[in-house]
Structure 1
């Protein structure tokens, strides 16, 4: 028997929530495990339910959807998040992706496109509209050009990198990076941050992927270069 993927819906608009649920329950591999009308309720519910996927709005009544996504990533880094919203990509997409989001959809999306996006995201990929991919590609190119300029101009370009690259990390990921750079073991980090070993290892993996670092030596050099060791406090 195939284990169903657990999905949480977070949206203040009941009609939209009903439509999303009606689409999801047509897929035998998905189960709607919870529905919430606010970010605070959803955060508590997510910690309890440990969903595979969260589908959220951006304009939640008590918390911005981007902030909500970032908070979820801090406690459930393996959970995938899709935003279904009326906001166009130019307003929120890049911030949502930087917070850890994986899919960005217009609230008028068809049932078929919703399910297709859900499957893509659950498989570990990112699902965006053509416009969304264009925006992400342009931002990637911009960051790449800053990196090239930093190599050519020395400290002039180097000063831009902490704002751009470390900005991709959640607050919890920055804590793990700083502890890791200081030489703490995963077991020690678990005690300090009150996290499980699997969660710490997941954070370390995500840090390396986001910052394009491959070893502990790379992380230490990065932390020194960007002043993260000096910023850290127990």
Structure 2
């Protein structure tokens, strides 16, 4: 990370609302270097340019925390973490929070183990599991204050993946694009099934980019029925839609 990139990171984080300490900036630098090094031998991200990684991954991940209630959460799940987004940037910014990063591809978790070790991250657990399987394991089912995810899936599918992990009154923070209103309409039935309500939505701009997201904020109101999530593959093949 050169001086220009360090300046961009500090200014971008300040625009979002964070004043980076030196050791946090060093952690982001080390993360960037590991990501670029490992990306040469395995497909971690299609974005290879360092400046774009800083904006489209690091700064973008930080925007998942912009709703005030995020800061009150203690135990957080990053579902479908991939190369560690948004979980690793959030863990750097909120070191006091406890994180579980879950992914279905084990080789990504091998990379994240190296990241965890190099950055000196504690209270960070890496779990190899599909969402449908992980949500049925006792240590994870209805055990989290919040779930964050940048996974590319329709909202009805995402709700079935994520809500079973949440405690009652827990939060789901979800980034969506320009079609977010249509997705919410499409997910009305799923929101009923999974006892979740849309608490708020925030328009989010990522500094130094033309990226504009809607941060959707969901709150869980009742325990998840034992029949959910359905078996692996079913949520994406047969999503719970309004017409059902």
User: Do they superpose with TM above 0.5?
Assistant: no
Q: Which structure dedicates a bigger proportion of its chain to strand?
A: 2
Q: What is the TM-score with the length of structure 2 in the denominator? A: 0.29
More relative contact order, 1 or 2 (CA 8 Å, 6+ apart): 2
